[in-house]
Amino acid sequence: MNEPEPIAIPERRPNPLIAFWRLIGGGSLTLSIILHTGVAIVAGLVYLTSTTTEKNVDFLPGGGTAQGAEASKDLAQKLEHKKRNTLIRHTPMQRVLSTREAEILLPDAPPALLDVPDISSFLDGGMKVSGGFGKGGSGGGFGDGIGIGGMSGVTFKPLTMFGMELKDTRKIAVVMDVSRSMTRYLPFVARELDRIARQSVLVLYFGCGLITPRGEVDDRVRRTEGEDFATFWQHWEGKASLKMTAEERSRLKFNPNAPMPLEDIYKKMAGRPNTYFIDFNGIYYAWTALMSHEVMEADTIYWFADFQDKVDEPQMEVVRKKLKLRKQKLYIHASTRGRFFEHVKEGLVVPLGGQVIEAEVK
């Protein structure tokens, strides 16, 4: 009997991708990844187990027993201790205020420019100031100090000129009549101005009239320095005729060999910062000083004059509109109540929310 011939089984060829993976050692890499993943999982479990802590729970025995009462008392003491530590930790350092009343120096910048301390930084836990900084104040007061108190902040004392309060005034500018009968008051006004607000703007104008101009008016504002100011002072505080024409006035020059009228006052004005003058152009255009750019940042204009010079309603209306637009008040101080004093008071001071200063200058 013949044996059957064996059936030849064709050899199965492996997948090319698998063959390539084995060729580059993919099996070893796979095993390594599996081992490292397992180690990472075990390490993570160990870390989580070691860092898990049991949350502390305050437990009080109950039932009204002595043990419960003692535990309650102990817990209350701990809570009080924690509260006291929290308050100490959050209490800010105290600020020491000077008890000496000092002069107030206002900067040249506009009123937004004054830095007012933030009172909220003094307080914690919802306390509020109700007494401000009065002496021996209550409700969160801080003893002696500057200011006039306030509901929720620090305010400065109001400015005063010659003992008269200038309400709602933080920055002041002065317009001064320096006609020959008025110049003798200039040192006193300047000294008082420097006392309350050192180096504030001071504008000098020869006269105090307010009339509508018939032509062009020289309204240039110059600093009180150099030959221009020396020329102005030498002639118009001297003996120059007030009836000179504009052409004649333009030919005036400073003579260093001639005496300087009121020389002491001249030197003080020539060396004072923020001091200006408008060259003589007649006694009726004082509005050039009142509406000048140099005084526009003040919230109060203080005008010292004798109010003897003519004013008219149309020009006062121009001044009134300009100062209202700038939100400026006008205070007037008369060396003597001239014939146009009431006109200026009713036409400018009252509508602009200012006042008349009645105080002796000395």
The CATH number covering residue 329 comes to 3.40.50
Amino acid letter, 256: P
Q: How many domains does the chain contain in total?
A: 2
State the Cα torsion 174-175-181-185 to the nearest 10°.
10
* Cβ neighbours of 78 (radius 10 Å): 11
The pLDDT value recorded for residue 332 is 96
Task: Provide DSSP, 309-335.
Answer: S-B-HHHHHHHHHHHHHTT-EEEEEES
Domain boundary among 121, 156, 191: 156
Q: Does residue 259 fall inside a structural domain? A: yes
- The per-residue pLDDT for range 175-220, each reduced to its tens digit, is 999 999 999 999 999 999 999 888 899 999 999 999 999 888 999 9
Confidence of residue 58 (pLDDT cuts 50, 70, 90): very low
Dihedral (Cα; 220, 225, 229, 234), 10-degree rounding: 170
Q: Are 192 and 111 members of one domain?
A: no
- The answer to whether residue 134 sits within a structural domain is yes
Domain assignment of residue 138, yes or no: yes
The answer to whether the CB of 222 falls within 8 A of the CB of 279 is: yes
Distance CA 128, CA 352 (A): 36
Average pLDDT, the chain: 78
User: Residue 67: what pLDDT?
Assistant: 55
| pLDDT level of residue 36 (50, 70, 90 thresholds) | confident
Looking at the fold, whether 267 and 222 belong to one and the same domain comes out as: yes
**Three-state SS for 31?**
helix
Residues 178 and 288 in one domain: yes
> What does the pLDDT average to over 59-69?
51
Asked whether the predicted pLDDT for residue 156 surpasses 80, the reply is: no
Banded pLDDT at 286 (limits 50, 70, 90): very high
Final residue before a domain boundary, out of 156, 177, 198:
156
Same domain, residue pair 144 and 163: no
Q: Mark whether 197 and 331 lie in a shared domain.
A: yes
- Report yes or no on 343 lying in a domain: yes
How long a stretch of residues is the chain? 362
Answer yes or no: do 169 and 197 share one domain. Answer: yes
121 versus 328: which is more confidently predicted? 328
Sign of CA dihedral 215, 221, 225, 226: negative
Q: Is the pLDDT score of 114 beyond 60?
A: no
pLDDT of residue 32: 78
* d(C-alpha 340, C-alpha 209), whole Å: 9
Question: Is the CA virtual torsion 223, 226, 231, 237 positive or negative?
Answer: positive
pLDDT at 289 exceeding the cut of 90: yes
257 shares a domain with 203: yes
Q: Quick one: pLDDT at residue 96? A: 45
- Same structural domain, 239 and 292: yes
Domain match, 240 and 321 both: yes
At which of 137, 156, 175 does a domain end? 156
Distance CA 131, CA 116 (A): 17
**Band of the pLDDT at 75, cuts 50, 70, 90?**
low
- Do the domain assignments include residue 82? no
For the chain, give me the number of helices (H) and strands (E)? 10, 9
In a domain, 271, yes or no: yes
Q: Do 230 and 250 fall into the same domain? A: yes
**Secondary structure element (H or E) that encloses residue 218, with its range:** none
**Does residue 62 lie in a domain region?**
no
Does residue 64 belong to any structural domain of this protein? no
pLDDT for 11: 55
Q: What is the mean pLDDT of residues 121-141?
A: 43
175: DSSP letter: E
Q: Quick check: 139 pLDDT over 80? A: no
pLDDT in tens, 223-280: 999 999 999 999 999 999 999 999 999 999 999 999 999 999 999 999 899 999 999 9
Q: Flag whether pLDDT at 120 surpasses 90.
A: no
In one letter, which amino acid is 115? D
With CA atoms as reference, report the closest residue to 271 among 202, 178, 207, 177. Answer: 202
* Strand-strand pairing, 356-357 and 329-334: parallel
Residue 301's domain comprises: 159-357
122 and 261 assigned to the same domain: no
How confident is the model over 17-28, as pLDDT tens digits? 767 767 777 677
Cα dihedral sign, 28-29-34-38: positive
Instruction: Tell me which residue of 129, 137, 133 sits closest to 101, measured CA to CA.
Output: 133
Q: What integer pLDDT is reported at residue 15 of this predicted model? A: 73
Task: Decide: 152 and 162 in contact? Cβ < 8 Å.
Answer: no
* pLDDT above 80 for 37: yes
Do residue 136 and residue 212 come from a single domain?
no
